[in-house]
């Protein structure tokens, strides 16, 4: 009995040590290296126009253009990433994987279950993963729990093997849709230089209301301490992981969860502008699907002849519904405070990068 207990004790210690080593190797949030600082600082200095009820003045493209390599689509939760994945799924010649880091482990029939959100208007999320049960030894829960900030020099060989396995086993050109790699883009860009990275952004105010699922249950004048019951998309988890690198997140959350959400949205935007090949606004896709899809196809080297067919998949959605949750002054006050904090961060990053 004593020997068994001792064995379990050492096994537990070894497991904790292994996790700590993996966290350090992955570049656990706490520092931003000079290379990342240099690239994101200019975008943190620019304050976006989110005051109107329309979309964002976003379309942003780096000079690099996609070729025949894989496509990595990135966006925050409730930004339109499922629609983007479904568009790639119907483009033809594309094997589109839905959120590879999702805890439901799409390759595992027992873990993924059968639930599909009816709002997504798809039959399943996992068809492309069928027959890939052997990926289980590569999957790590930490990918959806922590280490959300990674630099080009971060090490996670298992993540690289897992993503590369999906790319290489795709019967057609692979497109992977992620919700958890926006602050990991430096690493993805370094490890997969032939990939085309596409970012979708949504107005942070509308996105906030969508994240709440039922915003009327957490009105603007509600006690911020009650937010935990309405945190359906891991905001507190991201703040806890990233606060070492971005202390403003904790300060923002103390003021109101929306301010922390906006700060994270701004960081996501900056990383995307710095490392993605093409960024576009969800609102533009909804309002002008053919124009936006033509730009997306050009950025990803997809035949533009599919645009009319894909445009038919884009359904009208209300834009600017945030006005029913709080007025412009309420949002603007939190955004202004967050913008000031990010401007100070940008100045500090610029000094460090010199």
| CATH number of the domain bearing residue 12 | 3.40.50
CA–CA gap between residue 271 and residue 178 (Å, rounded): 14
What is the pLDDT confidence band of residue 17, given thresholds at 50, 70 and 90?
A: very low
Q: What is each CA distance from 242 to 153, 175, 341, in whole angstroms? A: 18, 27, 15
In total, how many domains does the chain have? Answer: 1
Rounded distance, CA 281 to CA 290, Å?
A: 13
> The domain containing residue 276 runs over which residues?
2-353
Helix H or strand E encompassing 351: helix 328-353
Distance CA 172, CA 318 (A): 35
For residues 178 and 62, the model is more confident at 178
The Cα 206–Cα 264 span in angstroms is 15
Residue 247 has pLDDT above 50, yes or no: yes
Write down the pLDDT at residue 350. Answer: 82
State the pLDDT confidence band at 10, using cuts at 50, 70 and 90.
very low
pLDDT value for 56: 59
Taking only the tens place, the pLDDT of each residue in 18-60 is 444 445 444 444 578 999 999 999 999 888 877 655 555 565 6
Rounded to whole angstroms, the Cα distance separating 252 from 145 reads 21
pLDDT confidence of residue 27 = 46
Burial call 79-109: b when 16+ CB within 10 Å, e when fewer: bbbbbbbbbbbebeebbbbbbbbbeebbbbe
pLDDT in tens, 288-329: 999 999 999 999 999 999 999 999 999 988 899 999 999 999
User: Mean pLDDT, the chain, as a whole number?
Assistant: 90
């Amino acid at each position: 009995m004593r020997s068994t207990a001792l064995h379990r004790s050492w096994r537990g210690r070894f497991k904790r040590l292994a996790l700590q080593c993996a966290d350090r190797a992955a570049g656990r949030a706490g520092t931003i290296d000079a290379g990342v600082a240099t690239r994101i600082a200019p975008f943190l200095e620019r304050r976006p126009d989110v005051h109107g009820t329309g979309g964002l003045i976003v379309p942003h493209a780096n000079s690099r253009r996609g070729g025949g390599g894989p496509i990595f689509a990135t966006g925050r939760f409730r930004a339109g990433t499922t629609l983007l994945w479904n568009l790639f799924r119907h483009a033809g010649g594309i094997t589109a994987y839905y959120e590879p880091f999702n805890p439901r482990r799409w390759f595992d029939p027992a873990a993924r279950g059968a639930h599909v959100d009816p709002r997504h208007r798809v039959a399943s999320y996992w068809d492309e993963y069928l027959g890939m049960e052997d990926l289980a030894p590569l999957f790590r829960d930490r990918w959806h729990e922590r280490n959300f900030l990674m630099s080009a020099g971060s090490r996670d060989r298992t993540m690289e093997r897992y993503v590369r396995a999906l790319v290489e086993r795709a019967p057609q050109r692979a497109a992977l849709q992620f919700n958890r790699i926006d602050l990991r883009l430096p690493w993805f860009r370094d490890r997969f230089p032939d990939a085309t990275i596409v970012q979708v952004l949504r107005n942070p105010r509308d996105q906030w209301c969508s994240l709440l699922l039922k915003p009327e249950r957490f009105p603007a004048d509600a006690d911020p301490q009650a937010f935990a019951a309405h945190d359906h998309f891991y905001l507190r988890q991201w703040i806890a992981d990233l606060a070492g690198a971005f202390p403003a997140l904790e300060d923002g959350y103390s003021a109101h969860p929306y301010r922390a959400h906006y700060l994270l949205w701004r960081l996501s935007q900056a990383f995307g502008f710095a490392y993605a090949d093409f960024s576009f606004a969800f609102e533009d896709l909804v309002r002008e699907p053919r124009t936006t899809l033509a730009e997306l196809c050009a950025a990803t080297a997809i035949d533009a002849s599919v645009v009319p067919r894909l445009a038919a998949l884009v359904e009208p959605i209300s834009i600017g519904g945030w006005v029913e949750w709080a007025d412009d002054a309420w949002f603007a006050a939190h955004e202004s405070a967050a913008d000031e904090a990010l401007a100070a961060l940008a100045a500090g990053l610029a000094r460090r990068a010199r």
